[in-house]
Amino acid sequence: MKILQVSDQKMGGQAGYNVFAEALANGATVFGLATGSTPISIYDAITASDLDFSNAVSINLDEYKGLPGTHEQSYRYFMNEHLFNKKPFKESYVPDGMADAATETARYERIINDNPIDLQILGLGQNGHIGFNEPDTPFDSLTHEVTLTQSTIDANARFFADENDVPRYAYSMGIGSIMKAKQILLVAYGENKADAVAAMIEGPVTEDMPASVLQRHPNVTVIVDAAAAAKLTNREEIVPFV
């Protein structure tokens, strides 16, 4: 893994932007995207740039089950607001949260297979989840319906007026689906991610820590701030981004 340490999320956005720009310049045409607060600074840097994705395809990691794309807390809505309305892609795929689970997960995996992902961006859950793949998700899993853990529900509750409104299920790329990407960019900020970052990079590869599977991928860049990197013991592998 290539580990870049940044001073703050704004600089992390610039570092992530550079990864996207380099991939695009090198011929990448399919981008796997993520939602949540972590990638927003990257999307801000992209929308402020002259990068052109009009001939590219995007494929999002996941979507809440039961929310239409017009719902303000749906991931389709999030992507429209933070990226697609300003930087449209030729085609942008997000799981249909209103569709039947078996039909939609099969359809979405076909989309991934038909459009091999050149660069996939990931966030990192405090319990090591990537996408909505919680601990003990099989490493060979494909797109599937997920029952969200209470910790994930609690983490997402801040976006909803009432915790009871937080969906309990989601559709997510599987870990096997994610690992098909040619290049992966994972971003994590804050001391609450330090344990997961250390386990992901330096711990054993185990389904108890879903992100640890990235140790088996040949092309991974990790962007962290000092707080998220605080529990890494091999400091020589960390490259300051300036």
Answer whether 226's CB lies under 8 Å from 11's CB. Answer: no
pLDDT class of 39 with cuts at 50, 70, 90: very high
pLDDT in tens, 104-156: 999 999 999 999 999 999 999 999 999 999 999 999 999 999 998 888 788 88
Look-up: residue for tokens 């991928």? Answer: 217
Positions marked catalytic: 62, 127, 129, 134
Query: Taking residues 170-196, what's their average pLDDT?
Result: 98
* Predicted local confidence at residue 150, as pLDDT: 87
Question: Against a cut of 0.75, is the pTM above it?
Answer: yes
d(CA 40, CA 3): 20
Q: Is the pLDDT of residue 227 over 90?
A: yes
